[in-house]
Amino acid sequence: MANEMSDDECDKTRDPLWKWKLNLIKDIRESVGTVESGKNILNVAVIGNKGCGKSSFINTLLTSFRKDKWQLYAQVGMNNGNISSITRHLKSFSAKESYYKEEPDVLFPTFIDINGLEDEHVEFNKVFLRALFEGKIKEKEKITDLLEEHTTNPDDFKNKIFKRTEYLKINRIIVVTTSDPAAPIPTELFKCINEVATDLKGIPIFGVMTKKDQFEDNEEIPQRTLDFLASLGITKESFLWVENYCPDTDPNIEYRRTVYPKIDVPVLEFINQVTNPHLGQSKEWHGFLTIILLKFVKWICIPIQIIIWAYVLILFTFMLYHDYNKILSTANNTMNNRYEFTLPDIALIYHVYRFFRLPFVIAPIAVSLFLFILSYIVKKLVRNSITKLLLAITIVFMLPTLVYVYKDQITHWLS
Ligand SMILES: Nc1nc2c(ncn2[C@@H]2O[C@H](COP(=O)(O)OP(=O)(O)OP(=O)(O)O)[C@@H](O)[C@H]2O)c(=O)[nH]1
Ligand SMILES: [Mg+2]
């Protein structure tokens, strides 16, 4: 993959900002940590009203992590908020599965694209946002369907939605709006976001204003920025005025072949703030358990496997050395008595087969395979869900125990 090329090879841009971009990715990499840190991946929700540039911003920010070229991750529309939303479902983009696959152990954030919310649906927005931040909205869920359900029976909707199991709990919120002075700021929606986020242990909020390229010189921008910040109750440190990768900024769409560090650097600086670990909520109760499990894999499972395979190798070499003559004579017997073709290897295969059937060889190999599967499961599941992980470990431990307890019956059935 082009994203895995060396940094200099990738620098098609020859841009002085290229190194800065790489340093920022490194900084973010350090602050989010790796699986072994026991932290959780941050889930960052990108919210705003229809057509303000949420999906374009997601594409820009995921591209800012890339070294090769822009990619279309979230579907972008032609509309500017007048037609119905282009993004119709909640969709998440994790580093491991979409934008930064080369280092799956680094806990880069997951960004969630949410379709445009309407300023006037105040009651629905309150319930929806609380459910969203608490992780009760499922991936690919149609928000229009939820709105319809809420309109039919609000109380029933509330009861049902908060009883759901947790899916993607939100740790940071990025609120997006357009710079276009003709589009009113959806103050009610933003106040609602602020209210719900403050209520839920103060989830940190950040603001992004898109279409900088179009409205850079517009005199209404300073006041608009202040109004935007005021409606969210945040300061300029948590704000980014951005120009996204889009045909307006590059009519020839050259970005299909490259990246622009000029666009990436401010975005990465902003993400560096968003992922700031001092803002909290990145460590969960199971962080300690995760660390213990990973240490167990690293310091117990792997060394035991190395010892087992070294032991098997030594025994095997000893067997070869000790049985050398026997192997040759079996080969001669095999040749003289039974087969027409010369295959001394058959004797070797036979001895190898006998060797691996010995209880003091097969048992350690079985233990090693068991530890291998266990460490694989731990590494895979530790990132996703500790409940699933504990369940998998229980099953992995239960199976051999059951086999041991019922070994007599099993031998009886098999015989
Ligand atoms: N010039 C310019 N256009 C932009 C920028 N960001 C987004 N756009 C344009 O705005 C339009 C809407 O962008 P989307 O990213 O689809 O907006 P959205 O908020 O995801 O829209 P919905 O999903 O429909 O709610 C597209 O035509 C984009 O090209 C920008 O920074 N500059
Ligand atoms: Mg969209």
Give CA–CA dist 136/47, Å, rounded: 16
Indicate if ligand 1 lies below 6 Å from the C-beta of 248. yes
| Secondary structure of residue 43 in the 3-state scheme | strand
| Residue 238: predicted pLDDT | 94
Judge if the beta carbon of residue 77 lies within 6 A of ligand 1. yes
User: Cα dihedral angle (341, 342, 348, 349), rounded to 10 degrees?
Assistant: -20
The per-residue pLDDT for range 87-103, each reduced to its tens digit, is: 567 889 999 888 998 88
Question: Does residue 267 line the site of ligand 1, with CB under 6 A?
Answer: no
Alpha-carbon dihedral angle through residues 227, 231, 233, 234, given to the nearest 10 degrees: -50
Position with higher pLDDT, 157 vs 375:
157
Helix (H) or strand (E) run with residue 127 in it = helix 122-133
pLDDT digits over 106-144, tens only?
999 999 998 778 887 888 999 999 999 999 998 878 888
Q: Which helix (H) or strand (E) holds 160?
A: helix 154-162
Residue 250, CB-side half-sphere exposure with 13 Å CA sphere: 15
Q: Which helix (H) or strand (E) holds 113?
A: strand 110-113
Mean pLDDT estimate for the chain:
83
213: Cβ below 6 Å to ligand 1?
yes
Output the pLDDT for position 340.
47
What burial class does residue 71 get, using C-beta atoms within 10 Å of its C-beta: 0-12 exposed, 13-18 middle, 19+ buried?
Answer: middle
Query: What are the Cα distances from residue 14, in Å, to 17, 262, 296?
Result: 9, 12, 45
Tens-place pLDDT, residues 279-308: 765 455 556 677 777 788 888 888 999 999
DSSP 186-230: -HHHHHHHHHHHHHTT---EEEEEE-HHHHTT-TTHHHHHHHHHH
Q: Ligand 2 centre from 54 Cα, in Å?
A: 5
Tokens of 342: 């010369």
Whether 388 shows a pLDDT value over 70: the answer reads: no
* Close Cβ partners of 67 (under 8 Å, ≥ 6 residues apart): 2, 3, 5, 7, 10, 11, 22, 259
Pocket test for ligand 1, best of 244, 249, 255, 267 (most atoms within 8 A of CB): 244
Q: Which ligand 1 atom lies nearest to the CA of residue 50?
A: 25
Helices (H), 212-343: 212-215, 221-232, 261-274, 287-296, 302-322, 324-333
Indicate which residue's Cα is closest to atom 9 of ligand 1.
Answer: 53
52 lines ligand 1 (CB under 6 A): yes
Q: Does 85 contact ligand 1 (Cβ within 6 A)?
A: yes
Residue of 93, 246, 260 to test ligand 1 pocket, by largest number of atoms within 8 Å of CB = 246
Ligand nearest to the CA of 80: 1
> Does the C-beta of 56 come closer than 6 Å to ligand 1?
yes
Q: Determine whether the shortest distance from the Cβ of 91 to ligand 1 is under 6 A.
A: no
Q: What integer is the mean pLDDT of 28-48?
A: 87
User: What are the distances in angstroms from CA 358 to CA 214, 355, 410, 414?
Assistant: 76, 6, 20, 19
Q: How far apart are CA 64 and CA 259, in angstroms?
A: 8
Contact 44, 174 (CB under 8 A): yes
CB proximity list for 357: less than 8 A, separation 6 or greater: none
If DSSP codes are grouped into helix, strand and coil, which group holds residue 384?
A: coil
- Counting beta carbons within 10 angstroms of the beta carbon of residue 322, is it exposed (0 to 12), middle (13 to 18) or buried (19 or more)? exposed
All domains of the chain, ordered by start, with CATH? 2-279 (3.40.50.300), 287-414 (no CATH)
The per-residue pLDDT for range 352-368, each reduced to its tens digit, is 888 888 888 889 999 99
Q: Are 283 and 82 in contact (CB under 8 A)?
A: no
Helix (H) or strand (E) holding 156: helix 154-162
In this predicted structure, which of 55-69, 221-235, 278-292, 386-400 has the lowest mean pLDDT?
A: 278-292
Give the model confidence (pLDDT) of 140-185 as tens digits. Answer: 788 888 888 999 999 999 989 888 888 888 999 999 999 999 999 9
- The confidence score (pLDDT) of residue 341 equals 45
Distance of CA 141 to the CA centre of its chain: 19
- Rounded to the nearest angstrom, the distance between the alpha carbon of 254 and the centre of ligand 1 is 18
Distances (CA, A) of 57 to 74, 106, 194: 9, 22, 21
Burial class (CB in 10 A: 0-12, 13-18, 19+), 147: middle
